[in-house]
């Protein structure tokens, strides 16, 4: 039976360099580790063009697309590589937050680790409401320790302090709390903001008074 693989999770805010960090690590694994890295992404992200990762410097890297609502299709991509005699050592997945919890991404990554693959994922930690996005945070449950978690922040578009929240803007104004969680966009519809500058009209008050 294969030795269980390890998961490395890169997570953080928009404009924090998650894809760049993932690409850098893939480069090192390929060039210096001579590893065969299979690069995957969910189909929902159309920003970066089909079948490629793209960072903010415009660098692209070929990737295989997997439906965001069915993470089990990741096994099809892995099995195809095996058939081609290109046995992957490492599975890299970008934009992991777009795999819904219903897609069973947690169980799929767990199974890949069980089969002996090392897995490296990058994704948004929080959505525009400041709430957990998809299964990104839950994947910490599959990491061996916090040394396998990289948390990246950006800088606030308004005050310049470290920023952990994506600010969604619609025609330049903050999006309402009730807006859909997923709205793919770039600089025209999102900013990085700190907790002080983040604006979220309609955010429900949490009642912390005693019963
Ligand atoms: Zn700020």
CATH number at residue 110: 3.40.50.300
Q: How far is the CA of 49 from the centre of ligand 1 (A)?
A: 31
- Structural domain includes residue 36: yes
Cα–Cα dist 176/128, whole Å? 10
| Predicted local distance difference test score (pLDDT) of residue 144 | 95
Q: How far is the CA of 128 from the centre of ligand 1 (A)?
A: 15
Q: How far is the CA of 165 from the centre of ligand 1 (A)?
A: 10
Cα–Cα dist 73/13, whole Å? 27
Structure tokens at 57: 């410097």
Cα–Cα dist 196/186, whole Å? 22
Cα–Cα dist 45/4, whole Å? 30
| Predicted local distance difference test score (pLDDT) of residue 44 | 75
- Structural domain includes residue 193: no
Residues 42, 43, 44, CA angle at the centre, nearest 5°? 95
Residues of the chain with pLDDT under 70: 1, 45-49, 211
Cα–Cα dist 50/107, whole Å? 26
- Structural domain includes residue 194: no
Q: Is there a catalytic annotation at residue 131?
A: no
Q: How far is the CA of 190 from the centre of ligand 1 (A)?
A: 14
Cα–Cα dist 24/150, whole Å? 13
- Number of structural domains (the chain) is 1
- Structural domain includes residue 132: yes
Range of the domain at 140: 7-154
Q: How remote is the C-alpha of 169 from its chain's centroid?
A: 21
- Structural domain includes residue 124: yes
Q: What is the pTM of this model?
A: 0.92
Task: Determine which one of 21, 65, 81, 95 is catalytic.
Answer: 95
- Structural domain includes residue 108: yes
- Other C-beta atoms closer than 10 Å to the C-beta of 37 total 18
User: Coil, strand, or helix at residue 134?
Assistant: coil
The strand ranges marked E within 69-205 are 90-93, 118-124, 149-152, 154-155, 162-163, 165-170, 173-174, 190-193
Helix/strand/coil percent split, the chain, to 5: 25, 25, 50
User: Coil, strand, or helix at residue 71?
Assistant: coil
CB within 8 A of 93, min separation 6: which ones?
39, 40, 41, 74, 119, 120, 121, 122
């Amino acid at each position: 039976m294969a030795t269980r693989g390890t998961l490395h999770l890169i997570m953080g805010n928009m404009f924090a360099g998650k894809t760049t960090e993932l690409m850098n690590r893939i480069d090192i694994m390929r060039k210096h580790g001579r590893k065969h890295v299979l690069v995957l992404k969910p189909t929902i992200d159309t920003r970066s063009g089909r079948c490629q990762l793209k960072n903010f410097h415009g660098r692209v890297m070929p990737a295989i697309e997997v439906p965001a609502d069915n993470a089990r299709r990741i096994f099809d991509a892995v099995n195809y590589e095996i058939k081609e005699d290109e046995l992957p050592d490492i599975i890299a997945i970008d934009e992991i937050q777009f795999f819904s919890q219903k897609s069973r991404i947690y169980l799929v990554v767990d199974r890949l680790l069980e089969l002996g693959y090392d897995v490296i994922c990058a994704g948004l930690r929080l959505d525009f409401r400041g709430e957990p996005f998809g299964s990104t945070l839950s994947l910490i449950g599959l990491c061996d320790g916090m040394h396998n978690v990289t948390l990246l922040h950006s800088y606030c578009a308004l005050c310049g302090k470290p920023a952990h929240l994506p600010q969604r803007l619609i025609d330049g104004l903050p999006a309402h709390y009730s807006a859909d969680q997923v709205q793919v966009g770039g600089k025209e519809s999102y900013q990085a903001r700190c907790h002080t500058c983040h604006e979220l009209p309609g955010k429900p008050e949490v009642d912390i008074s005693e019963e």
